[in-house]
């Protein structure tokens, strides 16, 4: 199994080669669903960087990443939703709007890893999709309606705080968000409590 420590240097080399034109993006796409984790994991990390640095070059593959979110493999679903979040920055054809509900249905994914990845990258979508900001906030605040147990929801709440922290100044209903964050001061997750305290220290005045 490839560890993150092992995968990161490989991922950096992949990114460098793509940006220099020494590696074709199609090779990275193919590697994202490789059976060997030693191949798949570094390329997934590389795709996260590439999605941030050259989203316009990856945008033509938008539908490919949508298909990944429908995979039976949770790792593939996470890769897909991460890439889509980056592509909203250059979504001139409004493709994300068409998959909005299906995308956020992954908050109720059977894998809490997928749900947490979605909440973490939601901050990017809130930033790039101004017309959807309030809808996204409402989706995130509806996590209580998912099947995840109390302890796992506590972790997801912490990730949501991070997403709100990225964009708080741009949100319309700041009062609703602040009330939500204040509730997390009593969270079962120490990490979520820590994030709530930091958020309120920064934005609560």
What single-letter DSSP state applies at residue 3? -
85 and 50 in contact (C-beta within 8 Å)?
Answer: no
- CB atoms near residue 97 (< 10 Å): 14
187 in a structural domain: yes
Return the percentage of the chain with pLDDT > 70, whole number. 99
Tell me the per-residue pLDDT of 54-72, one tens digit each, with 9 for 90 and over: 999 999 999 999 999 999 9
42 in a structural domain: no
15 in a structural domain: no
Tell me the per-residue pLDDT of 73-101, one tens digit each, with 9 for 90 and over: 999 999 999 999 999 999 999 999 999 99
Query: Could you give the residue ranges of the DSSP H alpha helices within 60-173?
Result: 62-68, 74-87, 95-104, 112-128, 133-140, 150-167
49 in a structural domain: no
14 in a structural domain: no
> How many domains is the chain built from?
1
CATH number at residue 169: 1.25.10.10
85 in a structural domain: yes
181-199 core/surface letters (b: 16 or more CB in 10 A; e: else) = beebeebebeebbebbeeb
7 in a structural domain: no
pLDDT, averaged across the chain: 94
pLDDT at position 5: 82
pLDDT band at 3 (very low <50, low <70, confident <90, very high): confident
Q: Is the CA virtual torsion 56, 60, 61, 63 positive or negative? A: positive
48 in a structural domain: no
| Number of residues written out for the chain | 205
Its domain, for residue 59, covers 54-203
CB within 8 Å of 148: residues ≥ 6 apart? 108, 112, 115, 156
Least confident of 2-11, 51-60, 101-110, 122-131: 2-11
pLDDT at position 144: 84
């Amino acid at each position: 199994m490839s560890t993150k420590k092992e995968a990161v240097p490989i991922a950096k080399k992949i990114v460098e080669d793509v940006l220099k034109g020494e590696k074709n993006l199609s090779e990275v796409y193919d590697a994202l669903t490789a059976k060997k984790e030693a191949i798949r994991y570094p390329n997934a990390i590389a795709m996260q960087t590439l999605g941030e640095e050259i989203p316009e070059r990856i945008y033509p593959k938008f539908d490919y990443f949508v298909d990944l979110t429908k995979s039976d493999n949770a790792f593939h679903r996470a890769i897909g939703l991460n890439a889509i979040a980056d592509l909203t920055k250059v979504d001139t054809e409004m493709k994300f709007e068409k998959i909005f509900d299906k995308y956020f249905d992954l908050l109720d994914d059977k894998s809490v890893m997928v749900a947490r990845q979605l909440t973490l990258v939601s901050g990017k979508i809130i930033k790039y999709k101004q017309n959807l900001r309030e809808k996204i906030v409402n989706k995130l605040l509806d996590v209580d309606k998912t099947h995840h147990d109390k302890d796992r929801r506590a972790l997801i709440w912490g990730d949501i705080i991070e997403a709100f922290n990225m964009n708080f100044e741009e949100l319309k209903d700041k009062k609703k968000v602040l009330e939500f964050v204040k509730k997390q001061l009593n969270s079962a997750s120490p990490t979520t409590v820590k994030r709530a305290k930091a958020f309120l220290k920064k934005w609560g005045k």
